[in-house]
Amino acid sequence: MSALFLLLHLLHARRKPLKVGEDENMAQMKDAIGHFTGAIESPKAFKAEMKLFLRLFSSYTAQRIERRILDWDKIQATTPNQVIKYEDLPASGNVKNLLKLAVLKFNGGLGTSMGLTGAKSALEVKDGLTFLDIIIQQMKDLNEQNAVDVPLLLMTSFHTHDDTIRVVRKHAGERQRITTFNQSRFPRVYKDTLLPCPQSVDDDKEKWYPPGHGDVYNALVHTGLLDQLIAQGKEYLFVSNSDNLGATVDDRILQHMVESKAEFIMEVTDKTRADIQGGTLINYDGHIRLLEITQVPSEHVEDFQSARRFKVFNTNNLWINIKSLKRVMNHAGMGLDLITKEKVASDGHTVIQLETAAGSAMRHFNSAHGVHVPRSRFLPVKTCSDLLLLKSDLFSLQNARLVLSAERMFATTPVIKLGEHYRNVAEFQERFKYIPDMIDLDHLTVTGDVHFGRNVTLRGTVIISAGEGHRIDVPPGCTLENRLLSGDLKLTEL
Ligand SMILES: *[C@@H]1O[C@H](CO)[C@@H](O)[C@H](O)[C@H]1NC(C)=O
Ligand SMILES: *[C@@H]1O[C@H](CO)[C@@H](O)[C@H](O)[C@H]1NC(C)=O
Residue nearest to atom 11 of ligand 2 (CA): 455
Confidence of residue 4 (pLDDT cuts 50, 70, 90): very low
Q: How far is CA 265 from CA 81, 172, 367, 368, 419, in A?
A: 12, 33, 9, 6, 37
Judge whether residue 381 has pLDDT over 90.
yes
For residue 41, the ligand closest to its alpha carbon is: 1
As a whole number, mean pLDDT of residues 85-113 equals: 94
Starting from the edge strand earliest in sequence, which strands make up the sheet with 441-447, in order?
A: 415-418, 441-447, 457-466, 479-487
Judge whether residue 38 has pLDDT over 70.
no
Judge whether residue 6 has pLDDT over 70.
no
Q: How far apart are CA 222 and CA 215, in angstroms?
A: 11
Residue nearest to atom 13 of ligand 2 (CA): 455
Please give the mean pLDDT across all residues of the chain. 89
Confidence of residue 69 (pLDDT cuts 50, 70, 90): low
Task: Kindly state the percentage of the chain with pLDDT values over 70.
Answer: 92
Give catalytic residues, as residue numbers: 382
Q: What is the structure's pLDDT at 373?
A: 97
Which residues lie closer than 8 Å to 409 by C-beta, 6 or more apart? 440
Q: What is the structure's pLDDT at 333?
A: 84
For residue 455, the ligand closest to its alpha carbon is: 2
Name the residue of 161, 164, 178, 203 whose CB sits within 8 Å of the most ligand 1 atoms, as the mutation to test its pocket. Answer: 161
Residue nearest to atom 11 of ligand 1 (CA): 182
CA of 476 to the centre of ligand 2 (A): 9
Whether 158 is in the pocket of ligand 1, judged by its Cβ within 6 Å, is yes
For the stretch 394-436, pLDDT in tens is 999 998 999 999 999 887 889 999 999 999 999 999 999 999 9
Q: What is the structure's pLDDT at 488?
A: 62
CA of 455 to the centre of ligand 2 (A): 6
CA of 209 to the centre of ligand 1 (A): 14
Confidence of residue 66 (pLDDT cuts 50, 70, 90): low
In degrees rounded to 5, what are phi and psi of residue 291?
Answer: -110, 120
For the stretch 327-376, pLDDT in tens is 999 998 898 988 889 999 888 999 999 999 999 999 999 999 999 999 99
CA of 131 to the centre of ligand 2 (A): 30
Are 458 and 480 a contacting pair, CB within 8 Å?
Answer: yes
Confidence of residue 196 (pLDDT cuts 50, 70, 90): very high
For the stretch 446-493, pLDDT in tens is 999 999 999 999 999 999 999 888 899 999 999 999 999 887 655 544
Query: Residues enclosing ligand 2, CB less than 6 A?
Result: 455, 457, 477, 479
As a whole number, mean pLDDT of residues 85-110 equals: 95
Q: How far apart are CA 182 and CA 195, in angstroms?
A: 25
Confidence of residue 68 (pLDDT cuts 50, 70, 90): low
Q: What is the structure's pLDDT at 325?
A: 98
Structural domains for the chain = 3-65 (no CATH), 72-377 (3.90.550.10), 384-487 (2.160.10.10)
Judge whether residue 198 has pLDDT over 80.
yes
Which residues make up each annotated binding site? 120, 183, 212-213, 243, 382
